Structure 1
Amino acid sequence: MAEAAAAETPSTPVRAPGRIGRQVRVPKTAELVAGHLRRQIVRGELKPGDALPPESGLMEQFGISRPTLREAFRVLESESLITVRRGAHGGARVSAPDADVAARFAGLILEYRGATLGDLYRAAALIEPQCVRQLAGKHTAEDVKRLRDAVAAEKNVLEDPLDLVHAQDAFHALLVDLTGNQTLILLCGMLRNIIDRANASYTAGAVDAEAQRAQALKGHRAHVRLVGLIEAGKADEAEKLWQRHITAADDVVNGAGPKTVLELID
């Protein structure tokens, strides 16, 4: 990738051949370099923790200047694909693609669009009960053990409202994780990231601590019952229970006041 072939200047639109009036954006050299390194990371050619070659080596490899290379690094840093330490003993190291990063970006977009927490709960109510039905129809002894361990973790923090919120949200996430569907896991991870923060905000600001605790204990009992239904293979009952459970949580949290995601987690 020679510098002469791709100038280190802001990208310039050019007209696409054969299409009058249409313009094509020519990528900047830094974007091309970032794209090359990104592909190596997502294909597993560069592993998490691997150090990238020294800047001088990368500059020679790509035929670019130091400012262009550092601009490429900034692109990859913004995507959490590398971490960069400055100084004489610094350098760039590869990071694993992180679902939490995607969730944070999705949260920002939902906040900007004024999405309500009810929107998120209704989305979860469309997805999670189907995951529960699938688990009840097909699961392993290890799946059931992980679910029982998750409800045991809840039981250990029943007296700590905030820890209980996080443990219960982890149980919801586990139901999706056990399907093994990576697309669902990522999408639901985005939802749960925001719901978890909103639930924690609601719990921390609860005026009636006793009512809040009673609701949390009711949720814990629903989790325990669900595991029993999944283990017994009762798909219809498990699905209906989880549908009611999510709907009830939606009613409680949204009945507490503010409606938008931003208001609830700000």
Structure 2
Amino acid sequence: MDRNAEGPRTGSLPDGEGRSRAVAEAVASVLRRRILDGVLEDGDTLPKQDVLLAEFRVGRTTLRQAMRILETEGLVTVRRGKIGGAVVHAPRPQDAAYMFGMVMHKRRVPLEDLSLALRSLEPVCVGLCARRPDRDRAVLPELEAVHDEMVRHLDDGAVYVRATRRFHEAIVRTCGNQTMQILLSAIEELWGRQEALWMSKGLRETGRTTRLAGALEHAQLIELIAAGDEVGAYRLAVRHLEGAHAFPLSTHGSHPVEAGERTSADKGTASAF
């Protein structure tokens, strides 16, 4: 690996007490690059504190600052105790969703704005699924499995909603375009967070008749994707999402998007450094 590509060389970091945040950021930059380049994989553990101190020739305070930067970015979780150490996390769409959510929350972006973005982009993914020559293997089995779960839980609104969300996530995940997967996965995750907030605030569930209609449209989408009908699948997806979003938008459309709470898994534990 080209060491120069990582950032500052180990020996180039200045020494001395009261070092600035810029030094901590330089240390974090080197470690971040190793994570993003795959030198450190998801689930790996960073070297022990003493090893990092020796490598970067910095003090404990600076190393703690660097770890806090990486924790804030969601790239490491620092554990306490005998099995302490910093566990590496590969960046995920959920992390981007939370950041999107905070920006939108701050700007008071209404739910209808988020809905429009999702309704405009997800049908493109549906069309891409239908275009895939390997859709019989790479797309349909997953969609059919989730759809079967939806049908089994038509009488349980909460379970049905979660299965529906997984169906739409599966469409994005199997569309075959990585840029769309990353972008739409973040938007889908953020929309799902809004659904969870509505449910926690007592938003009434859709009735069984509405849920059945949604399941039938999902079945039609699967048929069009199986047939390779890219245009037909796209058009049905547009109509389906318009209908699916009409219910929450009727009561929550003007409400601002909320970032929600990060889980302990998202945030990691308090630093042991």
How does the TM-score come out when normalised to structure 1? 0.84
Aligned to 2:216: 221
Aligned to 1:16: none
1:224 maps to amino acid: A
Aligned to 1:68: 62
1:236 equivalent to 2:231? Answer yes
Aligned to 2:245: 250
Taking the aligned partners of 2:160 and 2:259, their CA distance within structure 1 comes to 19
Q: Deviations over 1:92-119 (max 9, x none)?
A: 2222222211111111111111112211
Distance 1:214 1:113, change over 3 A: farther
Taking the aligned partners of 2:164 and 2:152, their CA distance within structure 1 comes to 12
- Equivalent pairs counted in the alignment come to 248
Aligned to 1:190: 186
Distance 1:206 1:233, change over 3 A: same
Which stretch shifts more, 190-199 or 241-250?
Answer: 190-199
Deviation at 1:241, TM superposition (A): 0.8
Distance 1:70 1:264, change over 3 A: closer
Q: Deviations over 1:128-176 (max 9, x none)?
A: 1122122223242112111111211212322221121111111111111
Distance 1:261 1:159, change over 3 A: farther
Instruction: Tell me if the contact between 2:128 and 2:176 (Cα under 8 Å) persists in the aligned partners.
Output: no
Aligned to 1:23: none
User: Which one has a bigger Cα radius of gyration?
Assistant: 1
Taking the aligned partners of 2:143 and 2:39, their CA distance within structure 1 comes to 35
Taking the aligned partners of 2:233 and 2:225, their CA distance within structure 1 comes to 6
Taking the aligned partners of 1:134 and 1:2, their CA distance within structure 2 comes to 48
Instruction: Tell me if the contact between 2:128 and 2:230 (Cα under 8 Å) persists in the aligned partners.
Output: yes
| Secondary structure at the counterpart of residue 14 of structure 2 | coil
Aligned to 1:170: 166
Deviation at 1:235, TM superposition (A): 2.1
Taking the aligned partners of 2:86 and 2:127, their CA distance within structure 1 comes to 45
Taking the aligned partners of 1:41 and 1:65, their CA distance within structure 2 comes to 22
Instruction: Tell me if the contact between 2:125 and 2:180 (Cα under 8 Å) persists in the aligned partners.
Output: no
2:91 maps to amino acid: P
Taking the aligned partners of 1:120 and 1:107, their CA distance within structure 2 comes to 10
1:44 maps to amino acid: G
5 Å-filtered alignment, 1:139-158, equals 139-140=133-134, 141-142=136-137, 143-158=139-154
Q: Deviations over 1:214-242 (max 9, x none)?
A: 32222111111100111112222211111
Taking the aligned partners of 2:89 and 2:260, their CA distance within structure 1 comes to 28
Residue identity over aligned pairs, in percent, reads 33
Taking the aligned partners of 1:182 and 1:60, their CA distance within structure 2 comes to 39
1:10 equivalent to 2:20? Answer yes
What is the root-mean-square deviation in Å for CA atoms of aligned residues? Answer: 2.4
1:68 maps to amino acid: T
How does the TM-score come out when normalised to structure 2? 0.82
